Chain A
Amino acid sequence: MADIKIQDLSYYYPETIKPALNKINLEIPEGQFVIMVGNSGSGKSTLLRTISGLAPSFYNGNLLGKIYLDGADAAQLSRHELVQEVGIVFQNPESQLVMMNVEQEIAFGLENLGLPDKLMKRRVMEMSSSLGLSAYLESYVAELSGGQKQKAALAGVLAMHPGILLLDEPTSQLDPVAAEELLNIIRRLNEDNGTTIIMIEQRLERCCHLADRILVMENGGISADLKAGTRANGIWMQKAPAAYLPPLPRLFASAGYKELPLTVKQGRQIIKSYNLERKAGSNFNSYPDKPPVSGIDPRKDLVDIHDLWFTYPNTGEALKNINLKIREGDFIAVLGENGAGKTTLLKNINGLLKPSRGSIQVAGKDTRELTIEEMALSVAYLSQDPNDYLFMPSVREEIDFTIKNLKLSEDGYSEEIIRNFKLDRYIQCNPRDLSTGERQRVALASVLVSKPRLLLLDEPTRGLDYQLKEQLGKLLLEINQQGTAVMMVTHDVDFAAEYARDICLMFDGGVIERGSKYEVLQHSTFYSPQIGKLFNNIVDDVITVDEGVKVLLELTRSINSEIVSAL
């Protein structure tokens, strides 16, 4: 277990003039749980790399200043000593696992240290049982789920018994359930073993209750150093920049509240203290764009899925008897656990897979009779990883590539998209050099340039921070308002509640429910956004941030007017 002391630390990547880290001074006492936030390019990952010694010894470049680990100058430690002092886990589990099965993966670092066989066995046993990997020891890494892979990567690092554990967005590629499990493991490590932890994490709502301290990084420096104090009381949040606040406290902050809750429970207590219940429903106007409850929808069908069944040759039935209509102007979020058939449904709609039984009509034509290229004109598809799209040397060429492939006429629409997506600045840049959010916008532009009538998205918010999520959401709303129907598969209930109009819940290959988000999400326990949970049984039909702010403002106003009238 160890403390970290950083003095005047600056770091330059090779062949750069601008420092990635600029004169950082920081002390982290032993056993502290630190969460680091900041925009991409703010230096968060670089700071972790310098502490772990990867910068400069792996990256080269130039390091000025000192880092002391447990009082010892890190630059004087041999790599052998350093890797046993500091362990680092990266974002993507796929690209940090080396061996073929879990057991060897855990042993890999120990072998590198040249430890005796007996000790290695003991460490492997301890790691696998404490991380719940015992049943998978012999499993091939390729056959594990994302969460299990990340646990294996963590086990491989922890087996070396580091006193300091650094984590670079370890949950960003995981679904919520797996992320929760991993965070629990990390919390236990900190609480039970006193391991010092520095974790970069964008989604603070998942983990800020774990932290002792929150560091905000900007432009290579630490712009805010917030002591969380006793855990789970959110005093730090009053000082934190609004952009890094989790959605719930941000909601209260934007309604002008001084008291900021961290959990739904605390939020409900605040609301109850204002004695809202008796006013509930009295003067609060429920959401305006509620679609007509009954009657015939005048909009045209874009996609008509009729008795759809789909079976994979190896793994069996993935879709069971699905009937679903997507109309012009729809904005649907598909929610459901892993393996519910969400992605399979998307691939059936865009023609990558053809129905085993039943039919799908896209704009009046059966998908069986259309090639994927023909369908690409009316249905666009954006997958999870924008890197799967980008290979051209510039953004311009990347977008023109689709135009050329689909033999579209250049009518200035691509210019319009580039402007709308705020890509004009990067038009000559290599898309791979851009940040995550920008790369996603380039990929999105490159599929939307064909003016599709339907846009399909698979987990578009994975790995995005609050700001990027908001930008993406607004962009999708804009696209939707311009007449493109949107259907997205997501695990992010809050995002779905904020931007989608309809929700489609899938379970075990079937559609369990489809309806307006207010009907589907309002009273659900698991599939309900935080804001929905906050106002559940207090005020109906409140699930987006705007609605929440409105209710909270209404609440204070009525209290104020009561005070005024009482006076």
Chain B
Amino acid sequence: MLTYQSKDNLIFKLHPFTQMTFIGIVFILSLIFSHPIYLLGLLMSVWVVIAASGNLAEWKGYMKFSIMMVVFIVVINTLFARAGTTIIYSGPEIPLIGSLEISMEALAYGLGMSVRLLVIISIFCLYTYAVNPDKALRLFSRLGGKSVLAITLSVRLFPLMMKDFQRISEIQRCRGVKLATGSWWERTRNSIPIISIMLLSCMERSLQLAESMYARGYGSGPRSYYDKDLWRPRDYLILIVTAIALAVGIWSAVMGWSAFSYYPVLEQINPLELIGAGITALTLLVPAILNWGWMKWPILKSRI
């Protein structure tokens, strides 16, 4: 039903706040950084953490789809960007584009941005597979009470409506409603009865739900929050290191180290400026390292 499947490793055994903080910080850093090495560092950390969480197979699926986008971005950028000066290929005149000139800078820029895209997609993948959506939602529920409840309700009702749809379609097909044959237009028109029944049933159900919520005192005063997630040393450790990663990332950005100018000529890479990339990548690897130790040494498992 849900993409989330709990697995037995440290990444899944973190407090949802820790998980969300890690994901949030990687996301922020991926937007701050434009230096390809910094971005590659992020990508590497996220990849290792995803591997540690046991979702590498799912991530590969995401990557297959992302590579197509990457190719697209690189091709478009190299074809249209004119700011680069180091021409590596110059070709014939092409309508609309003009003369075909491919510069190394445009190619590099396309690749650099693709790394950012891959980081964002990877972190999204980690969120989808490793964070219990329910808990994430509850984490936010303190912020926006009613709207979060509305989301919770729709998530809860979604599988119910899918079942309704299936059941009602079957029933109406037995009454001669053609849903599998005929033209697209006929099938759409024939599905009107099913949609109307679902609408009517949904309205009845939502009234009953509202009644049940009202009877349990919803909206009768300030709410409190039931919270069963516990804090463990692993959460503090990871929160501390991700905070360091964020601080170093911001520092690098302020110092201008994590920026990179592709045009007109690729900037020289100063090894000293890469210190920030190293530290952020290493600190963001800590969850994976902890997981490795957690798996290997029962003593560590019991301590953190």
Contact = CB atoms under 8 A, between A and B. Distances in A.
A98 B172 CA distance: 29
Contacts of A273: none
B217 A80 contact: yes
Contacts of A248: none
A469 to B, nearest CB: 22
Contact of B156 (A100, A376, A379, A432): A100
Contacts of B219: 112
A84 B216 CA distance: 9
Nearest to A405: B176
A352 B152 CA distance: 33
A121 B225 CA distance: 11
Interface string A106-145: 0111111111110011001000000000000000111100
Contacts, number: 173
A103 interface: yes
Interface stretch (B17-25, B28-36, B119-127, B204-212): B204-212
A107 B213 CA distance: 12
B203 to A, nearest CB: 10
A553 interface: no
Given A83-B217, A100-B155, A114-B224, A388 B209 contact: no
Q: Which one of A92, A100, A111, A376 has the highest number of Cβ atoms from chain B below 10 Å of its Cβ?
A: A100
B184 interface: no
A54 interface: yes
Chain B, interface SS category: helix
Contact of B215 (A88, A124, A383, A389): A88
B175 interface: yes
A372 B172 CA distance: 10
A469 B215 CA distance: 32
A156 B105 CA distance: 63
B67 interface: no
Contacts of B225: 111, 117
Contacts of A406: 175-176
Contacts of B153: 98
A187 interface: no
Contacts of B254: none
Range, interface on chain A: 35 or more
B224 A58 contact: no
A501 B172 CA distance: 29
Interface string A77-115: 011100110011010101111111101100111111111
A467 interface: no
Nearest to B192: A391
A391 B292 CA distance: 58
B186 to A, nearest CB: 12
A488 to B, nearest CB: 15
Contacts of A58: 210-211, 214-215
Contact of A96 (B134, B171, B209): B209
B198 to A, nearest CB: 9
Nearest to B190: A405
B223 A114 contact: yes
A120 B171 contact: no
Contacts of B210: 58
B228 A352 contact: no
B261 interface: no
A432 B175 contact: no
A436 to B, nearest CB: 13
B221 to A, nearest CB: 6
A114 B222 contact: yes
A390 interface: yes
B159 interface: yes
Given A108-B216, A390-B197, A447 B174 contact: yes
B223 A112 contact: yes
A340 to B, nearest CB: 19
Interface string A347-386: 1001010000000000000000001110111011101000
Contacts of A103: 226, 228
B295 interface: no
Interface string A333-353: 000000000000001001010
B217 A117 contact: no
A562 B102 CA distance: 116
B177 to A, nearest CB: 6
Given A100-B156, A104-B138, 15 more contacts: A57-B214, A58-B214, A100-B152, A100-B155, A103-B228, A111-B224, A140-B1, A371-B180, A376-B176, A389-B197, A401-B193, A402-B176, A405-B176, A406-B176, A450-B176
Closest 10 interchain pairs by CB?
A: A405-B176, A96-B212, A107-B226, A109-B216, A95-B208, A79-B220, A112-B217, A83-B217, A406-B176, A142-B159
13 contacts: A52-B215, A58-B214, A99-B156, A104-B226, A142-B159, A373-B181, A376-B173, A387-B197, A387-B201, A388-B171, A388-B197, A389-B175, A406-B176
Interface of A: 52, 54, 57-58, 78-80, 83-84, 87-88, 90, 92, 94-101, 103-104, 107-117, 120-121, 124, 140-143, 153, 156-157, 160, 347, 350, 352, 371-373, 375-377, 379-381, 383, 387-391, 401-402, 405-406, 432, 446-447, 450
